């Protein structure tokens, strides 16, 4: 991360925390301190939809389409009501959830320990991370929902959800210059740290040239190679084969954020890596494995 981007990030947080503090009785400073991984630096690297340049979620929120957000809520309505006093179903009623404590209240809904263990409040940053990949945000959650990989779709939904009993002020969009800088300065990966994280992949993948396929294909030279092709005849799922294209930084980032959302029906049983820095590290390491 370049110094200037750190500055923008910090400045954005100071501003954002201030706005939230005005709108709410209290903000757990512990939360913001402990969960820096979800700070805006994550958005800078978060392709999510495989290749489009990342736009800060604050910017997307500022131009959110409420009608589209309401339409997206249909994906949630099988488990959630959102009207005031609505019943809990498979999931809790969501009226006024933005600004509320995570996994608390909601008419006594029986939350998982996984979600209860998160602490903090639902704001646009935590909700954005949750909706990107619930299982990576709270491993062990009982919300069986793959996630919404498209950042614009999440922004539309969050903006609409905010009108259902919350009405928090929207976070300030970064200034045009700041955003350009944030988009240009991608999170820089550390290959050595990535090699350590690759321990999470080793139960299924070898990475040395000529290594055997296991539950997953050998990954030597994967960066720049075609998606779901070759690899010693590995039997890829139709889901991944139909993606096409090549593995570049953006597609690897989207895939490793949330495999099931990137290629619904994939046979890679891996929840994903929620932390943008960790993904960048793993991708840097994959590039060293020729």
Measured at the CA of 33, the angle between CA 139 and CA 185, to 5 degrees, comes to 85
Burial 140-177 (b: 16+ CB within 10 A, else e): ebebebbbbbbbbbbbbbbbbbbebbbebebbbbbeee
Least CB distance to ligand HEC at residue 74 (A): 9
The span of 13-21, 50-58, 98-106, 175-183 binding ligand HEC (CB under 6 A) equals 98-106
d(CA 13, CA 62): 17
Please state the closest distance from residue 228 (CB atom) to ligand HEC, in A: 4
Shortest CB 240 distance to ligand HEC, Å: 4
Tokens of 85: 């006093």
Residue with tokens 């994903």: 272
Q: Which of 126, 258, 266, 277 binds ligand HEC (CB under 6 A)?
A: 266
151, 149, 136: which is closest to 278 by C-alpha? 136
66 neighbors 160 (Cβ within 8 angstroms) = yes
Is residue 79 near ligand HEC by the rule CB under 6 A?
yes
Is residue 287 classed exposed, middle or buried when 0-12, 13-18 and 19+ CB atoms within 10 A define those classes? middle
Is residue 102 involved in binding ligand HEC (CB under 6 A)?
yes
Nearest to 276 by CA among 123, 99, 94, 57: 57
Stretch that binds ligand HEC, among 2-10, 46-54, 177-185, 202-210 (CB under 6 A): 202-210
Q: Which one among 40, 91, 96, 120 touches ligand HEC, defined by CB under 6 A?
A: 91
Place of tokens 């903006």: 159
Q: Give the count of beta carbons closer than 10 Å to the beta carbon of residue 192.
A: 11
Nearest to 259 by CA among 250, 268, 251: 268
Closest distance of CB 103 from ligand HEC, Å: 4
Alpha carbons 148 and 131: distance in angstroms, whole number: 6
261 binds ligand HEC (CB under 6 A): no
Q: Of the listed pieces 5-13, 24-32, 87-95, 177-185, which binds ligand HEC according to CB under 6 A?
A: 87-95
Segment interacting with ligand HEC (CB under 6 A) among 50-58, 92-100, 174-182, 183-191:
92-100
Comparison of 32 and 247: residue with beta carbon closer to ligand HEC? 247
Q: Which of 142, 172, 211, 221 binds ligand HEC (CB under 6 A)?
A: 142
Q: Is 269 in the site for ligand HEC (CB under 6 A)?
A: yes
Binding mask 236-255 for ligand HEC (x = CB under 6 A): xx-xx------x--------
Kindly list the residues in this chain that would bind ligand HEC in the complex (CB under 6 A). Answer: 75-76, 78-80, 90-92, 94, 97, 102-103, 106, 111-112, 114-115, 122, 131, 138, 141-145, 148, 157, 200-201, 203-205, 215-217, 219, 222, 227-228, 231, 236-237, 239-240, 247, 256, 263, 266-270, 273, 282
């Amino acid at each position: 991360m370049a110094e200037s981007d750190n500055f923008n990030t910090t400045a954005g947080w100071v501003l954002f925390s201030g706005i939230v503090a005005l709108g709410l009785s209290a903000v757990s400073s512990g939360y913001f301190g402990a969960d820096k991984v979800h700070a805006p630096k994550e958005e800078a690297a978060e392709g999510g939809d495989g290749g489009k340049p990342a736009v800060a979620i604050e910017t997307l929120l500022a131009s959110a389409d409420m009608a589209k957000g309401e339409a997206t809520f249909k994906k949630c309505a099988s488990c959630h009501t959102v009207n005031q006093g609505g019943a809990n179903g498979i999931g809790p009623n969501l009226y006024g959830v933005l600004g509320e404590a995570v996994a608390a209240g909601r008419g006594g809904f029986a939350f998982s320990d996984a979600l209860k263990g998160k602490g903090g409040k639902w704001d646009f940053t935590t909700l954005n991370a949750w909706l990107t990949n619930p299982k990576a945000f709270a491993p062990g959650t009982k919300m069986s929902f793959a996630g919404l990989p498209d950042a614009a779709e999440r922004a539309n939904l969050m903006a609409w959800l905010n009108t259902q009993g919350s009405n928090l002020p929207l976070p300030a969009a970064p200034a045009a210059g700041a955003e350009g800088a944030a988009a240009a300065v991608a999170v820089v990966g550390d290959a050595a740290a990535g090699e350590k994280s690759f321990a999470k992949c080793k139960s299924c993948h070898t990475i040395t040239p000529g290594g055997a396929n296991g539950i997953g294909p050998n990954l030597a030279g994967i960066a720049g190679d075609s998606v779901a092709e070759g690899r010693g005849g590995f039997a890829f799922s139709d889901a991944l084969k139909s993606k096409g294209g090549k593995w570049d930084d953006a597609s690897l980032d989207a895939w490793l954020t949330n495999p099931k959302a990137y290629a619904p029906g994939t046979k890679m049983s891996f929840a994903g890596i929620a932390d943008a820095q960790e993904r960048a590290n793993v991708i840097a390491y994959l590039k060293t494995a020729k």
